[in-house]
Each structure stands twice: as structure tokens, then as C-alpha cells.
Amino acid sequence: MFAAARKRRGFIFPPYVLLLFPAVLFMLLIYAYPFISSVIRSFINKKGALSFDNYIKSWNLYLKDILFTFSITIFNTLASGTIAVLLSVYFRLHDSVISRFLINLYRLPIFIPFVVVAQMMNGFLAPHGLLNIALAQLRLIDLNNPLQLFNFIGLSFGFIWKLAPFTILIIYGGFQMIDNSYIEAARSSGARRLNLIIRILIPMNKPSIMVALVLIYSQIVGTFTLPYMLIGGKIPTTITVDIAHRVNYFMDFGVANALGVFSYILVFVTAIYYLKTKVREVK
Amino acid sequence: MSNLKLISIQKNYGKVKAIDNLNLEVQDGELVTLLGPSGCGKTTTLRTISGFLAPSSGEIYINDRRITDIPPERRGIGLVFQNYALWPHMTVFQNLAFGLQMRKLPKDEIKRRVKQRLETVRLEEYENRYPRELSGGQQQRVALARALVLEPDILLLDEPLSNLDALLREKMRFEIARIHKESGVTTVYVTHDQTEAMVISDRIIILNKGRIMQQGKPEDIYENPANKFVASFMGNTSFINGTVVDFNGKYTGVKTGDGLTIYGIGRKVEKGENVVIAVRPEDVQFILSPGIRREMKSNNLFSAKIERESYIGEVVDYQLKLKSWSIRAKSAVSNKMTEGEIVKIYLDPDKMPILSE
């Protein structure tokens, strides 16, 4: 009876769709519920009424940090992407002892967690850390006036050190998928290295490059440990540090959620692009 | 005017000689095919000419210009690949224009030359399409046009038809022959397909284990194979082993271990030498009436048993048992014989090359 009714409406519900249930349930519980609940709570003020109070407060207090987060995300995404593309091209086009050594070496930082990276960077970038001492030994700086790196520069150093290898992993994988004949066809057509890279290799590997950029972009927006341990409560800092600050010191979940929504907005466009690319790949 | 010269080319991979002292000269406008089985060194030779592989020793010249150490992009060589290698993010026009842009030609000149080449390969209507929107045959023609648009001194084609279906492959053979004739470019073509080589080549070079086994016009190689390897590679040749026992002026007599004496054309063979007789399917004649049999020479008439028959359209393909030897034969469909039947066959001695083992 139900089957007939469904057929009349042109709707067929194949039973194997049920196989999706565990995965969908997991997504709903772990991702969708906290997301929707934080969006709703960001619109509820301390009196329990619907309002934009949390957003106004976030905007007034943390605009600098939102812009800082956005700029550090964009800068590090592009910097990691550029380094990754250059190294991946080098790996793809050169087969030498150095390239083989680097291919084995570059993967190591992927397996080191952010908290360890942050601790390493703390020691390395500190006013009397390894970098400053090394530069002083080379007489490039005076150790009484060391480089201050617990800021945009130090954070970028940490992000690039940690994320460029992950980016290389994806982008180099894409370059490896390009058959040699495409490269040889370009070279026999007269293309030198730069044209080969810009006009053939990068366009042919555009999907991998974009996916890698989207993934590290989202990762940078959401990273807490590295900015927390390197910059902490200094101004400007990142949204994630502000969220922790709001919750730990003020128990202010409303503003924390509003800041969370800002970070969602930062990754929203890239997430749509990522999904579209994946859907196209499946098709 | 372009000619290609390879002098004593050697390419080693460790102890393996992929190319072993290869000397080759391709004249202006000539289409030479490197023919051989997988691993014979034909693609290695092509990649050495194109500059993507450096020879271990030897020299390469184009028009007396030494190009051995010149990088691929400056050799003036056009390449067509087995997988076409059309850049998927570019349209047909952009694929053809790329090389001309690298040479910094003016836009109008690029447009004119691309259109001209697309006309040559009869794809004028497809210039705005992407490779994925073209059939295999069309992609192959674009790849050919892309190589030709640069007006290369030498055109190299690496098994360009092997990804096409049988019907299209046959059509494209003639298409490539036509385009080569029109463009007049000196061409080196690599294939493992004997028929393809026969159709398009001015000259065929048979390679095995990095060495030239024989070279010459297609008909010369087919009719006068230099050795067993060449004979086996050109057609479904069957081989009968024996010892030279007789010379009767024109023909050489070979006695097999099971008592057959077969006469054929023996060059450079001596009495007592162990040899092989190459028997091609089309050279086995079935004697269907006694009248005809009496007109035949008395030698080379045998009884054979039909072991297997396969109808393949225009002819019937047979496997015959001649004493202990299996040989292939063909006959017209109208004379179809059945499995197990004993038939009389005649092996024309003028068409039975006797080769050193």
C-alpha cells in the first residue's frame, strides 16, 4: 500500500539508503547539532531574549582580532600554498639525490601535533631562543635587542612550518598524477621551465591546489593552540583565543558563539567551493 | 629540407643495452617506421631523438646540426604521443597555439597557422572544443596538428594509433599517410603493428634487443626476411626446422627430422647447416583437383591434415598438421574444408625463404 502510494507520488525510497544512517547520525550529533545550537545561542542575550547584542559586543571588542585572524589566514594560506607549489614542482621535475632526500623529509611535520609545534616555536622564536642566538652568532642582530617574534611573523612561521608539508602532500600528489607525456609535449612545443609550470602544470593541477588551500585555510581559522601559546592574550590575537578567553574568564557563551559564527563565515565560501569540487569529482 | 642521422647510438640501463650501436639515417620527407616487439628499444630510440633521454654514447644530427646535447625544447622536433597528451584545460585552438606562443609569433600569424593546420586534419569546426569533447580519432588528429603547426624539422610519432579501436585505427593509418604526404615532413614512426607499418612507411626498420634486424621497403622486408625474427614479426609465419641437403641450381632442399624434404630459396646457407623454412599462410596452396596437381612441380607437394579451421570473414584460416609440423594456411570461403580432412598442399619454393637459425 505504501509502496503504491510512493510510486504514485514518483518517490522511491530504496532500502539501501538506510546504510547512510550511521554516518548521517554521526554528522548530525557531532557537527550539525553543536553548529546549529551555537548559531542560535549567539542570538540570545544574557536576559535570554533574541537580539544582536552578542554580535554588537563582538564587533566592538574584537573587530581587530577578526581582521587579524582573516589576514593571518589569508597570508598563511597563500604562503604555504606558494611554498608547496614551488617545492612540489621541484619534486615533480627533478629526480636527484637532494629532491629524493627532501621528498622523504618534508612529511615529518605532518605527524607533529600543533601543541608540540607551538612548544617548539616557543623555544625557537623566543627573544633568547635558538633563532635569535643563531642570528646573534652570525652578528646579524644584537642579542640585547632581539627580534620580537611572538606576533604575526612568529605565528606565520609556525603555521607555514606545520601546514606547508600537508599542502605539499596534496599538491605533489596531484602533480604526480600528471603523465610525463603532457610535460614532454609542452617541452617539445618549446616551453621553458616557467611556462611549463605556469601554463601547463599549475592549471592541470588546479583542483588539487584549490582543495589543499581550502583545507589549510579552514585549519588556520580553527587553530587554537599555536596562537594561544605564541601570542596568548596580546592584542591583536586570533578569534579562537578570544573564544577561549570569553568562556574561561567571563563564562560568556553568547559572545563566544557569536565569534564562532564569524569564524564560520570566514570558512563558509571556501567550504562551498570544496564541496562543489568534490561533487564534480564524484560525477 | 630536413634529415636525421643517428651515429652509433648506445643507451644502457646498468648492464642492459636498450639501444645497441644504432646507426640510422632518415632522408628528407621520408617516413621511417621503427617496428618491433615491446622492449626492443623503439620508444627508447624515439625518446633519445626527442631529447628526453640522453644516449650513453653516440651522436644525433638534424641537417648536419649536432643536437645530442641540445634540450628538447630547442631541437625543432614535433612529438605525437600514444595517449595524445592534449592539455585538458586548453581548447583545440589553444593546444595548437601554445607552441607558436612560445615562439612569440604575432597573434594574426598564430591564428592563420592554427586554422591552416586544423584544415589539414579536417577539424576546422572544432577549434573551440576541449579535448574531452572530442572522440579518440579527433583527439589523435589534434595531436598531429599540434605537432605539425610548429613546422618541425622532424616529426616523431610514438604508437599514435594504439589507443584507437580497430576500425578507427585502420582509417587513421591512411589519414596519417595522407597528412604526411601533404606536409612532407621527415617522420619517424614507432609501432609494434606490422600492418600499420606496411601501410604508412616508406621504409621499415625492424628492431630487436636494441639492434636493427633488417631495414628496407615494406615489400622487401615482407618477401625477403633476413632472419627468423623478422619473418616471425611480419605476418603469421610458421617455421619448419631442418638441415640443408641439396642445391638444385635455383632451389635449396631442406630435410626435416621427420623425413620431409622441402625446397625453397636459400641465401647464404650451406650444405649441412641447420636452417628454418618460413611458411606464410598465403603461400600454402590447396590442391583441390587432380588436374591442377599434375601441372605443379613434383617437389613440395604434401598431404596435410586440417587440425582447426576458423572463419574470419573474407577467408578461412586453417591450422594444418604436416607430419609433426603445425603450419597456418588460408583459403577462399568458397573452398571451405572441414576439420580432420586430409588435403593436398603445395608450398611454392619461390616463396619459401630458407633462413639461418
Residues A224 and A155 in one domain: yes
Percent of the residues in chain B that have a pLDDT greater than 90, as a whole number: 68
Residue B63 pLDDT greater than 50, yes or no: yes
Q: Are residues A104 and A169 in the same domain?
A: yes
Q: Are residues A89 and A33 in the same domain?
A: no
Do A105 and A176 belong to one domain? yes
> How far, in whole angstroms, is CA A262 from its chain's centroid?
15
- A14 interface with B at CB cutoff 8 Å: no
- How far apart are alpha carbons B118 and B152 in whole angstroms? 16
Question: What's A127's domain CATH number?
Answer: 1.10.3720.10
* pLDDT value at residue B290: 60
Structure confidence by residue, pLDDT tens digits, B292-310: 554 445 678 999 999 998 9
**pLDDT value at position B81?**
94
Q: How many domains does chain A have?
A: 2
- pLDDT above 90 (res A251): yes
**Which one of B77, B85, B89 has the shortest CB-CB distance to A179?**
B85
Q: In this structure, are A37 and A102 located in the same domain?
A: no
* Domain boundaries, position A33: 1-41
* Residue among B73, B83, B88 minimizing CB distance to A188: B73
Residue A127 included in any domain: yes
pLDDT band at A226 (very low <50, low <70, confident <90, very high): very high
Q: Indicate if A127 and A198 belong to the same structural domain.
A: yes
**Domain co-membership, A99 together with A158:** yes
Asked whether residue A145 is assigned to any structural domain, the reply reads: yes
Note the residue count of chain A: 283
Residues from chain A contacting residue B87 (CB–CB below 8 Å): 182, 185-186, 200, 203-204
What's the pTM value of the predicted model, to 2 decimals? Answer: 0.82
Q: Classify residue A39 as exposed, middle or buried by CB count within 10 Å of its CB (0-12, 13-18, 19+).
A: middle
Q: Is A91 part of any domain?
A: yes
Task: Provide mean pLDDT across the span B175-180.
Answer: 89
- CB-CB under 8 Å, B87 with A185: yes
Q: Are residues A80 and A170 in the same domain?
A: yes
Say whether B85 and A185 touch across the interface (CB within 8 A).
Answer: yes
Mean pLDDT of A53-57: 95
Residues A42-49: what's their mean pLDDT?
A: 91
**Among A189, A192, A206, beta carbon nearest to B150:** A189
Confidence at residue A218, expressed as pLDDT on a 0 to 100 scale: 92
Kindly give the residue spans of alpha helices, DSSP state H, lying in chain A.
Answer: 2-8, 21-27, 33-42, 53-93, 97-105, 114-125, 130-137, 152-176, 180-188, 193-195, 202-204, 206-222, 225-230, 239-250, 253-282
Q: What is the pLDDT of residue B119?
A: 92
Please tell me the distance from the alpha carbon of residue B88 to that of residue B102, in angstroms, as a whole number: 18
- CB-based contact (8 Å) between A193 and chain B? no
Q: Which of A266-270, B25-29, B89-93, B183-187 has the lowest mean pLDDT?
A: A266-270
Question: Cα–Cα distance between B52 and B320 in angstroms, integer?
Answer: 48
Q: Is A93 on the interface with B (CB under 8 A)?
A: no
> CB distance B73–A191 less than 8 Å?
yes
Structure-block grid coordinates of residue B317: 584460416
Gap from A206 CA to chain B (nearest CA, Å): 10
**Same domain for A158 and A232?**
yes
What does R_g of chain B's alpha carbons equal in angstroms?
A: 25
Cell of B224: 625477403
pLDDT at residue number B289: 66
pLDDT at B29: 94
In a domain, A78, yes or no: yes
Q: Does B77 touch chain A (CB under 8 A)?
A: yes
Q: Is residue A46 part of a domain?
A: no
User: At residue B65, what are phi and psi to the nearest 5 degrees?
Assistant: -95, 120
* pLDDT for residue A14: 82
pLDDT at B295: 47
User: Is residue A25 predicted with pLDDT exceeding 70?
Assistant: yes
Q: Give the mean pLDDT of chain A.
A: 92
The mean per-residue pLDDT over the stretch B25-35 comes to 95
In a domain, A15, yes or no: yes
Q: Is the domain of A88 the same as that of A32?
A: no
- Tell me whether B54 touches chain A (CB under 8 Å): no
Q: Percent of chain A scored above 70 by pLDDT?
A: 96
ipTM attached to this prediction: 0.83
Q: Which residue has the cell 617506421?
A: B33
pLDDT at position B292:
55
Closest CA in chain A for residue B100: A189
Q: Is residue A136 located within the same domain as residue A263?
A: yes
Q: Which residues of A are less than 8 Å from B102 in CB distance?
A: 189-192, 195
Q: Is residue A259 part of a domain?
A: yes
pLDDT at A166 over 60: yes
Query: Hey, is the C-beta of B332 within 8 angstroms of any chain A C-beta?
Result: no
Q: Is A204 in Cβ contact with B88 (below 8 Å)?
A: yes
- DSSP state string for A179-205: -HHHHHHHHHTT--HHHIIIIIIHHHT
**Residues A60 and A139 occupy one common structural domain:** yes
Contact: A190, B103; criterion CB under 8 Å: yes
